[in-house]
Structure formats: structure tokens, C-alpha cells
Structure 1
């Protein structure tokens, strides 16, 4: 079994790619296999005989963007783990990348030590998220699905809460969700706050992760 972790970088900024390559190659047992300027370039360079373990994927790229490329990898190379890389901090961007198959999310201005932690956790735990999804949230989500036990938390959700939860996994704003459910925005806020308490999460992304793990939405 090889000990070296192979990393690919997809980003349309040449200086950032080079900088990341230098930093990653300094990590013990990490090596940048190749870099790519966009999704299409990344796909062209994939060699089935030596695939990267992790792709550090920029979200906003010309041509095939991070969402499209991540979805392609999930379908054709499911063993490759995607760590989304972006300047965006919006929950919508995170949710969209998760739904397209990303296993983690890190900001471009993160400290190199956080990037190393992200690589370690994606390989050992299967996922990594920064402070936008706290460790407590991830632990509670991971404990929600147990093959030996039913899901008492899930059983306590009302039909309307489940409907809201599914809509929260879309790119709709809370205002748009309220219109689709034919309720006021205040009522939608009530559904959200109730789910936060019941599921022990603190962000919309946490709600999405719960829905994905319990197969309430397809990704």
C-alpha cells in the first residue's frame, strides 16, 4: 500500500495553483500529481492507472466549473475525494458543492495548517468542513444513522418540517421557500429553528447534511 497521498489542483489562477503546489509538496507524504486550469483540463489529465486521492477544486472556473467537474468525478471516478476551494462563504455554495459530491469545503485564505487537517480528515473520516459546520454538528450528523437502531430524531419531525427540510436543500432562499409552502416567512423561520433544535445543528448546511444522510434528497 502506498503511503504517499496524491493531490490534484484545479484552479484558473496560475499563481494560486503554483503556490498551493509548493505548500502541499511540503506536507509529509503529500505530492501534487498535477495541476489544471479548469475542469476540462483536469479531466483530460486523469490517468486511471494513477488517480489522485484528493482533488482541490475551485468552484468558480471558466468552462466546466467546480460543480460540473465534481459531479463528473462522482459519476466516473467515485474514489476521488473532492475538497472544494473558494472565496465564497455562502451556505448556498456549500450546499451545492455537497450535493454535487464534494467531501469538504475550505476557503482560499485558510492557513496551510487547516488545509493539512482537511486532507487528513477527508482521508480518515470521509469529510471535512471548516467553522461553517462545527465539529459538534458533524458528530451529531454522523450519529444520526445507525444500522442497528432506528432514528428517533427523524421520527419526531412533522410532515411540514420534512417538506421544509427538503426545500432547504435547494438553492431557494427562505423567502422563496415560504412562497412555495404558502406560509409566511415567520412560519418558515419557525420550521428552521425547530429543526435546528431537534437535529442539534446550527446552520442550513447542517440541515442539508442530515437530509442527505437520511436519503430525503438525492445527490
Structure 2
């Protein structure tokens, strides 16, 4: 058990090292932990209640787009999540904030930019690189924020059931996987539909899939 305040979840050791250097300069006695996949991150959070800030890579094993971000918000609402990625188009960065991230730091950022972002977040603000216009598309922003709030209302068990619905699994398979009764799964599904304000599991699965990033489009198109 440590008194670490910060954990860096990224599968690129070089970037973790650079980020660590920036954190040491911004946060006194930060005590930084590292994880190179999402399940390792969850285990570390469980073992270290002192953690306050998570730097989360958009593309790391176990995390598809914003699925990790919303799972952390669902299970650990007090954690501050800062997304990091080289996939730093304006739309992706904006989406991260809509879904509840406190900041989005491009991997091309230098130490002073990382320091500014961390300072802003610690002061209770939201940070994006200067050229990104926050909330450019009001309608999309509102629908993303609504979905983030709805996902946060699910219990951790319901959240897991939702991920399996989105994966196309049937109640019987989910019950077997989670070692619970099929009637319990049905209750969870009903609660999920109600909280997400949708009529069927297909729509619930589609809602969850909004968190995922589309694979990069073919360059030759």
C-alpha cells in the first residue's frame, strides 16, 4: 500500500517516463504509480485509496476509446481522469471532456504544456489545448453529457452487464460469466434500460458503443 496520488496508465514506457517527469515538477509528493493495461490500472486503484489522478491512454490494452473513462467514473467517481493520446483530433478531445475527463493532453505536448494542464485540473478546471474550441457542437455535447450521467447511475455490476450486452451476449451467457442467476441478469437489464432511457437491449448496446472510437479510416479512401 502506498500514498501515491497519481497513476499513469499507458502502454508506452517512454511516454510514462516523460509524464512522470512533468508530474514531479507540478505536484509535491505525488508518488506516481504506473500501469500498462486497464485491468492492472483497476487493481492498482483498488489497492491504493490515496490515488487522486489517473492519466489514461485512449488506446491501451483493455480500454477502447472512452469505455475506460466511463467505467472509472462509474466505479470511482472521485477520481480525476486526464486522457492522453497521440490521436488528438479536435473531435476526440472534445468528446473526452463531454464524457467527463478533466483534460486531454496530446502525446506531442511538452513539459510546460503538461504542467499547465495538471495545474488547471488541480484547480478544479477543465483543460484542452488552446486551439481546441470547447463545446463547439452544443447538441452533440448535450447528448454525450447525458449519456455520461446515465452511465454513472448504473451500479458497477449493471455497468459490466451493459458491456456484455454491447458485446452481443445473451442473458444466459452473462449469467454464466458473472456467476449469477439468469433472473438477476434480467433484473439488471431492466434497470439498465430504464436508466439509459431506451426500450431494448440493442439500443442499450448502441448507446455504449458511442464510447468506442471508430478504427482509423483507410488512408486510401
TM range (shorter): 0.5 to 0.7
Q: Distance in 1 between matches of 2:51 and 2:115?
A: 16
TM-superposed CA distance for 1:41, in Å, is 1.2
The root-mean-square deviation of aligned C-alpha atoms, in Å, is 2.8
Residue of structure 1 in register with 2:96 after alignment: 97
Residue of structure 2 in register with 1:72 after alignment: 71
With over 3 angstroms needed to count, the CA separation of the structure-2 counterparts of 1:66 and 1:46, relative to structure 1, is farther
TM-superposed CA distance for 1:93, in Å, is 1.7
TM-score (norm 1): 0.57
Q: Distance in 1 between matches of 2:99 and 2:17?
A: 26
With over 3 angstroms needed to count, the CA separation of the structure-2 counterparts of 1:40 and 1:208, relative to structure 1, is same
Aligned length: 146
- SS of aligned partner of 1:98: helix
- SS of aligned partner of 1:126: coil
Q: Distance in 1 between matches of 2:97 and 2:83?
A: 9
TM-score (norm 2): 0.56
Q: What CA deviation, in whole Å up to 9, does each residue of 1:111-140 have, x standing for no partner?
A: 211111111111213311112435xx5xxx
With over 3 angstroms needed to count, the CA separation of the structure-2 counterparts of 1:111 and 1:31, relative to structure 1, is same
Q: What CA deviation, in whole Å up to 9, does each residue of 1:22-65 have, x standing for no partner?
A: 33223351524311102111111113653322111110112234
| Alpha carbons 2:22, 2:114 under 8 Å: kept | no
Alignment of 1:124-143 (within 5 A): 124-134=123-133
Q: What CA deviation, in whole Å up to 9, does each residue of 1:52-85 have, x standing for no partner?
A: 2211111011223452221111001111111111
Q: Distance in 1 between matches of 2:68 and 2:4?
A: 21
| Alpha carbons 1:57, 1:83 under 8 Å: kept | yes
- SS of aligned partner of 2:14: helix
| Alpha carbons 2:8, 2:55 under 8 Å: kept | yes
| Alpha carbons 1:5, 1:29 under 8 Å: kept | no
Stretches of structure 1 lacking an aligned partner (at least 5 in a row): 138-200
Which segments of structure 1 move beyond 4 Å, counting only runs of 4 or more? Answer: 206-209
- SS of aligned partner of 2:147: coil
- SS of aligned partner of 1:52: coil
Q: Which has the higher contact order (CA 8 A, sep 6+)?
A: 2
Q: What CA deviation, in whole Å up to 9, does each residue of 1:92-122 have, x standing for no partner?
A: 3224423432121111111211111111111
Residue of structure 1 in register with 2:14 after alignment: 15
